[in-house]
Amino acid sequence: MTYVQFPQQKPIDFVAIGRLCIDLNANEFNRPMEETSTFTKYVGGSPANITIGMARLGKKTAFIGKIADDQMGRFIADYLRRDGIDTSNVVTDRTGAVTGLAFTEIKSPTDCSILMYRDNVADLKLKPGEVDEELIANAKMLLISGTALAQSPSREAVFQALHYAKRHGTVVAFDLDYRAYTWNSDEETAVYYNLAAEKCDIILGTREEFDMMEVFDRNPDRSDSVTANKWFDYSAKIVIIKHGKEGSIAYTRDGKRHRANSYPAKVIKTFGAGDSYASGFLYGVMQGWSLEDSMSFGSASACIVISSHSCSDAMPSADMVHDYIARCERGEITVS
Amino acid sequence: MTYVQFPQQKPIDFVAIGRLCIDLNANEFNRPMEETSTFTKYVGGSPANITIGMARLGKKTAFIGKIADDQMGRFIADYLRRDGIDTSNVVTDRTGAVTGLAFTEIKSPTDCSILMYRDNVADLKLKPGEVDEELIANAKMLLISGTALAQSPSREAVFQALHYAKRHGTVVAFDLDYRAYTWNSDEETAVYYNLAAEKCDIILGTREEFDMMEVFDRNPDRSDSVTANKWFDYSAKIVIIKHGKEGSIAYTRDGKRHRANSYPAKVIKTFGAGDSYASGFLYGVMQGWSLEDSMSFGSASACIVISSHSCSDAMPSADMVHDYIARCERGEITVS
Amino acid sequence: MTYVQFPQQKPIDFVAIGRLCIDLNANEFNRPMEETSTFTKYVGGSPANITIGMARLGKKTAFIGKIADDQMGRFIADYLRRDGIDTSNVVTDRTGAVTGLAFTEIKSPTDCSILMYRDNVADLKLKPGEVDEELIANAKMLLISGTALAQSPSREAVFQALHYAKRHGTVVAFDLDYRAYTWNSDEETAVYYNLAAEKCDIILGTREEFDMMEVFDRNPDRSDSVTANKWFDYSAKIVIIKHGKEGSIAYTRDGKRHRANSYPAKVIKTFGAGDSYASGFLYGVMQGWSLEDSMSFGSASACIVISSHSCSDAMPSADMVHDYIARCERGEITVS
Amino acid sequence: MTYVQFPQQKPIDFVAIGRLCIDLNANEFNRPMEETSTFTKYVGGSPANITIGMARLGKKTAFIGKIADDQMGRFIADYLRRDGIDTSNVVTDRTGAVTGLAFTEIKSPTDCSILMYRDNVADLKLKPGEVDEELIANAKMLLISGTALAQSPSREAVFQALHYAKRHGTVVAFDLDYRAYTWNSDEETAVYYNLAAEKCDIILGTREEFDMMEVFDRNPDRSDSVTANKWFDYSAKIVIIKHGKEGSIAYTRDGKRHRANSYPAKVIKTFGAGDSYASGFLYGVMQGWSLEDSMSFGSASACIVISSHSCSDAMPSADMVHDYIARCERGEITVS
């Protein structure tokens, strides 16, 4: 069954709005950052990673965002363009903002943390008047991401993008991507996440992220179905709630629950799992695959990313994902 | 025909959220403020004035807001209580915020201006977690006002109040009450005014205020019917667009336009006209009167207020309004 | 003995830098502000009051400050000009700042308080480049006041004014005038008060104000002579420490202590006592009187101000002060 | 001749106050940062580098500063301790501040630039009450650095440190180290640089830095002797004005000018030249050497640092500097 209808006549497959930043990944693994001495620079930011993922999977993509007027900003725009992503709506800040940074620390494959630089960052300075209505009108899907809601004027830019998407029949996916940094309070977070989610067709998040959105609600048992049903009263068709190692569940308006296969991986770090899962899953949905197949494709894509050093650089092509699944099915990949 | 159904079983008639401040009205009229030397203190703020108006008209009312922990704040709360307004949800700020001030200057009956003090004001510090869900659940109508959307966390408190109103079937009226001060940009204003208006049953504003909300829309002729129809696609049942001296027009979902009688007045100043109009009109609607009668009642109420020195103090009882209309109809009130 | 030599050839007697604001004095006395309903508007701010006092005493005066671009700001500039004060260096703010306000509450002659509006005020926006070096070069005395040190860029403007005064041999008086509001911490306050005081010839303050300046010092007994001697190691020639009802003591470099006569007064409120004392005292010093006579003249001037409703409006002429002293000496003024 | 007398009985040779940060030096040279992909992490910040330099030269040193409560902050403190620097007055921030970053770009040995991250940095959050008076009392020399004057409360902490140094007879050196970032205006910069410089015994800066301090002064020809003489009217004994490739000149109170030898170097980048020069020069002065010898030693130390990849890591021991000079004199080092 098809849960989401895409406007097939639109020329652009996928456009995302939000954070563009730099990941600085420690080259020395399995030790605290105090003891690492070199870092490698990658493009980062959840919506950027997902867009890169969609581009690698063969989709026609575009990005709406703001970059600093410095070497880091130019590096980001160049990288996106090399992947064939339309950057015509990637605006350059002129106020002296900087590029957001995420230093990653990999103490062990399961103990990873991030040191964020989010003060005065360019991505949060995107203004509603800078969002290109035409671009959204021409896209089958718009992806929004929670971090872009954290501050004005980026917050208003996202609501304006949502308004354009509704006006032009563009499907909206919302990757919750909650980061405590830059939000003033849980209450503020909940208010804007809820206002945005009301307008979205597909919502993806962890159980903890949905909990945060329910601080004013009544869901004491943290029930997934209570959570999902709330959004079916608004615009949602698919709500995916991620439960870490126990896997993800997709809820649909018809009351069904959908689960994916999971695959083994030789994990280097957990960063980027969510972004590669999202791009793989949304790709499957756009291809008209079943939710189960789409979720499995997302899972395999995530396995590829967490087995490598970077997030954006490691985003796989469709062939690579299919091949990974085939190798898993042949028993060639096992966790040591 | 009845355009709005009120949940009659609810014990509170009317609750408003937003600005509570102090008006300091020049005692010396018809001169610039540089030449005035004494001022009289009144409770002010559009939603406060409307609530006082509703209380004077005999309605059971309550207020949701925040006051400074100082003499001005205590004066405001005392004044509301003396009018029988429930202040259980009027919270006292503990961060050192001050009470908003509005010095009024009356150069002539038609040349009035306001000098605002809106930095670090208590009313904009109301938090979403401080809004009493029970109070809104128990009210037939919630009034929101645009100034409360101007800054965080008051902005979030209003969206939370809207959320509670929708959850509990409370009718929502939105008095646009746009004040440029405290907003960062027209775009920011438009985004939040639109997000709020989507959830409202009754919207009242001037043509200029609706223009401001349409900066991202296509209404080059500033057509009232284009404006009204936009909101009928969301929740609105009644949209009132005010055209100053040419009078107000109420648009309804059935495509009709409604106009009121107008009345003469010996104008002292124009301040407070909108607030007394709103309370008179909403009172009529709650009484089940026709829109025309409700608008006429609002107009007469406004005439009474602009004929006197204050706004809040001058809010009339129902008898006073009926009496004013009768005297106008007998030709006893004429403009010199 | 003459403790301070003034450069007599300079054409301007007295220039002050700092706060210009509006006092709104309750017209109804002896009650809390919650119960007052009208206020009268006066020019206020300690250095403004002192300058008005000096002008009334016949001195050639000027002011360096910044006013809001509104009715309150224009009222202030007009008022100063009517007293013959040179306002060529009173700059108008263009950033939307407001005029500082001080609502006064007179619960009883000895229980007075002030409700301050000091957010985004014009007077604290004076920039160092806006200070007129020529004006200071041409003045016999510069008065600085502690409130102007509370924030940038006004803080820098004061230090720049001090630099010009030292460069051109202008005598500097420092009225400590400490107000907790607008300072971030006691430590910040102490650092800048001390940096400024190092460059001053005459320092006037209460014991409590000097205590605040000594948070990093060692004066556990709060000894006046320890306090005074600290400043004699820098530039000070006269240090006046006020002990409220016990009277003031002037310390001088030669190790002497000087005390004034005190006079009776029919007190309405205590506001303005310090400002009128300062203008009377500094006037006496400029006239070449003994410190004792100068202090007595200041005390009598203060008595006149606290016996009336306003501060600035009540600043007396020299004849009025001499007359007051004469009437006290004839026993015509007694405290009931 | 000895221009500065050090209090030899004090147990600590050298204490610096101010910026502690992280340098991220591009590993790939001679290309724009857009094309570099890996960075190596070093301790940075001018006063930190100078202190590390003094420690390597064998001096007993300490640091007064503030670090972020994160991996970068801990790395910095560990690094200082490994060099034997007393970090008892290196305070850890608890407000969520971050560690300042400086990404270096080396397009060519003579075309280097820095991308700074200075928003919400821990080093600028040092408070005056956190400065250890005892530590300064026990030190022969205190070094202050201009960047620490850029914001409150660090600005106040530096003035407090200066106050303690004057109280206890500690010699003060001022490395101007002007960085436009984080200052609000040239006027603000000039005011605080001048207030600080008045209290210093040794002042080191480039001609451009001294120009910036003279925006309110009259030195149209940018005369070094006018500049130096201004400070001899206050506390200064030695003023060093650096003229880039033309070399540095030391001015002294006796009216003399002193110049150093210069040495060849195989330059990799110019970063760190000033810091290594300062530590070498101040070391020589503390050893009682002539100014010429001290300056030569500083120059040779600078040559060593600019011939290597890092600043802090490359700070040489005294033997290394003497050896470098000897090799230069033997003609073993020449510029290709």
Neighbouring CB atoms inside 10 A of A200's CB total 26
Residue D88's Cβ-count burial label (10 Å; 0-12, 13-18, 19+) is: exposed
Number of structural domains (chain C) is 1
Residue D183 DSSP label: -
| Interchain CB contacts (distance < 8 Å): A and B | 57
Close Cβ partners of A246 (under 8 Å, ≥ 6 residues apart): none
| Local confidence band at A336 (pLDDT 50, 70, 90 cut-offs) | low
List the D202-206 sheet strands across, edge first.
D86-92, D61-67, D12-17, D139-145, D171-175, D202-206, D238-242, D248-252, D257-259
Burial D260-270 (b: 16+ CB within 10 A, else e): bebbebeebbb
Q: Which of A32, A41, A119 sits opposite D37 (nearest CB)?
A: A41
CB C39 within 8 A of CB C27: yes
DSSP string covering B196-233, please?
A: HHTT-SEEEEEHHHHHHHTTTS--TT--HHHHHHHHHT
Contact between D321 and D280 under an 8 Å Cβ cutoff? The reply is yes
Is residue D330 predicted with pLDDT exceeding 90?
A: yes
- Residue B108's pLDDT band (boundaries 50, 70, 90)? confident
- The 10s digit of each residue's pLDDT in C77-103 is 999 999 999 999 999 999 999 999 999
Please judge whether C75 and B33 are an interchain contact, meaning their C-beta atoms are less than 8 angstroms apart: yes
User: CB contacts < 8 Å between A and D, how many?
Assistant: 60
Q: Which amino acid is at D70?
A: D
pLDDT band at C335 (very low <50, low <70, confident <90, very high): confident
In angstroms, how far is CA B74 from the centroid of its own chain?
A: 22
pLDDT at D108 over 90: no
Count of C-beta atoms within a 10 Å radius of residue B88: 11
Average pLDDT over residues B312-323: 97
Which one of A191, A213, A231, A235 would you mutate to disrupt binding with B, by most B Cβ within 10 Å of its Cβ? A191
CB C18 within 8 A of CB C147: yes
pLDDT value of residue A135:
98
**Which residue is listed with tokens 């921030």?**
D93
How crowded is the C-beta side of A38, counted as CA atoms within 13 Å? 11
Out of C133, C156, C187, the one facing D188 most closely (by C-beta) is C156
Average pLDDT over residues A17-34: 93
Q: Can you give the pLDDT at residue B62?
A: 98
Give the span between the Cα atoms of D234 and D222, in whole angstroms.
20
pLDDT for position A334: 84
Confidence of residue D63 (pLDDT cuts 50, 70, 90): very high
Q: Residue D16: its pLDDT value, please? A: 98
Partners of residue D159 in chain C, C-beta under 8 Å: 191, 195
pLDDT tens profile C9-21: 999 999 999 999 9
Is the residue at D4 inside a domain?
A: no
Token digits of residue D274 = 């000033």
Is B189 near chain A, with CB under 8 Å? no
pLDDT of residue C109: 84
Nearest residue to B238 via CA among A222, B248, B246:
B248
D159:C127 CB<8 A: no
Contact yes or no for A124/A182 (Cβ under 8 A): yes
Cα torsion angle, D285, D289, D290, D296, sign:
negative
How far, in Å, CA of A198 to CA of A179, rounded?
20
| Nearest-by-CA chain C residue for B73 | C34
CB contact under 8 A, B38 and C38: yes
Q: Where are the alpha helices (DSSP H) in A109-180?
A: 133-137, 154-168
User: What would the mean pLDDT of D307-322 be, rounded to a whole number?
Assistant: 95
Indicate the range of A123-132, A135-144, B99-108 predicted with least confidence: B99-108
Whole-number pLDDT of residue B111:
86
How would you class B27 by CB atoms within 10 Å of its CB: exposed for 0-12, middle for 13-18, buried for 19 or more?
middle
In a domain, B321, yes or no: yes
Give the pair of three-digit tokens for residue A181: 């940094």
β-pair partners for B240: B204, B250
Alpha-carbon B82 to chain mean position: 20
Interface ipTM: 0.95
Torsion angle (degrees, nearest 10) of CA D321, D327, D331, D336: -60
Nearest residue to A240 via CA among A231, A253, A250 = A250
At B310, give phi and psi (nearest 5°): -110, 175
Q: For residue B30, count other CB atoms closer than 10 A to its CB.
A: 12
Contact by Cβ (8 Å): D200, D168: no
Q: What is the pLDDT of residue C111?
A: 86
The percentage of residues in chain B with a pLDDT greater than 90, rounded to a whole number, is 89
Nearest chain B residue to C72, by CA: B34
* B149 has a pLDDT exceeding 70: yes
The residues that bridge with B24 in the sheet, in sequence order, are B41, B103
The structure tokens listed for B165 are 């109103």
Residue D204 within any structural domain of the chain: yes
| Radius of gyration for chain B, computed over Cα atoms and rounded to the nearest angstrom | 19
**Chain A CB within 8 Å of residue D192 CB:** no
Query: Looking at the domain assignment, is residue D60 inside a domain?
Result: yes
Residue A182 amino acid letter: T
What's the whole-number mean pLDDT along residues B79-96? 98
C160 in reach of chain D (CB within 8 A): yes
- Contact yes or no for C216 and D159 at CB 8 A: no
Q: Which residues of C touch B184 (CB under 8 A)?
A: none
pLDDT in tens, C197-212: 999 999 999 999 999 9
Q: Has residue B336 got a pLDDT over 70?
A: no
Neighbours of A289 (CB within 10 A): 16
Partners of chain B (3+ Cβ pairs below 8 A): A, C
Euclidean distance between the first and the last CA atom of chain A, given in angstroms as a whole number: 38
- Residues A176-230 pLDDT 10s: 999 988 899 999 999 999 999 999 999 999 999 999 999 998 899 999 999 999 9
> What integer pLDDT is reported at residue D302 of this predicted model?
96
Return the structure tokens found at D323.
Answer: 């050896």
- How does residue D134 score in pLDDT terms, banded at 50, 70 and 90? very high
| Residues B219 and B226: beta-carbon distance below 8 Å | yes
The most distant pair of C-alpha atoms in chain D lies apart, rounded to whole Å, by 54
Of B159, B99, B100, give the one whose Cα is nearest residue B129: B159
Q: How many residues does chain B have?
A: 336
Contact present, A166 and A39 (Cβ < 8 Å): no
Q: Are strands B100-108 and B86-92 parallel, antiparallel or unpaired?
A: unpaired
Q: Would you state the pLDDT for residue A183?
A: 94
Which structural domain, as residue segments, surrounds residue B215? 14-329
Q: What is the pLDDT of residue A285?
A: 98
pLDDT in tens, D235-294: 999 999 999 888 899 999 999 999 988 899 999 888 899 999 999 999 999 999 999 999
A9 within some domain? no
**How many Å is the Cα radius of gyration of chain D?**
19
D31 Cβ under 8 Å from any chain A Cβ: no
Mutate which of D70, D81, D95 to disrupt the A interface (most A C-beta within 10 Å)? D70
The predicted pLDDT at position B106 comes to 87
CA distance B169 to B7: 7
Give the sign of the dihedral formed by CA B221, CA B223, CA B226, CA B228. positive
Q: Does the structure show a pLDDT above 90 at A325? A: yes
Residue in chain B closest to A151 (alpha carbons) equals B152
| Residue D305 belongs to a domain | yes
Q: How far is A230 from chain B (nearest CA, A)?
A: 11
Instruction: Please indicate whether chains A and D are in contact, defined as at least 3 beta carbon pairs under 8 Å.
Output: yes
Which residues 200-219 on chain C approach chain D with CB closer than 8 angstroms?
Answer: 216
Q: Would you say residue D124 has pLDDT above 70?
A: yes
pLDDT in tens, A290-310: 999 999 999 999 999 999 988
| Of A39, C305, C317, C41, residue with least CA distance to D71 | A39
Beta bridge partners of B251: B239, B257
Highest mean pLDDT among A245-259, D124-138, D213-227: D124-138
- Please tell me whether residue A283 adopts helix, strand or coil conformation: helix
* Residue D152's CATH number: 3.40.1190.20
| Percentage of chain C modeled with pLDDT above 90 | 89
**Predicted model pTM:** 0.96
- Compute the average pLDDT of residues D90-116: 93
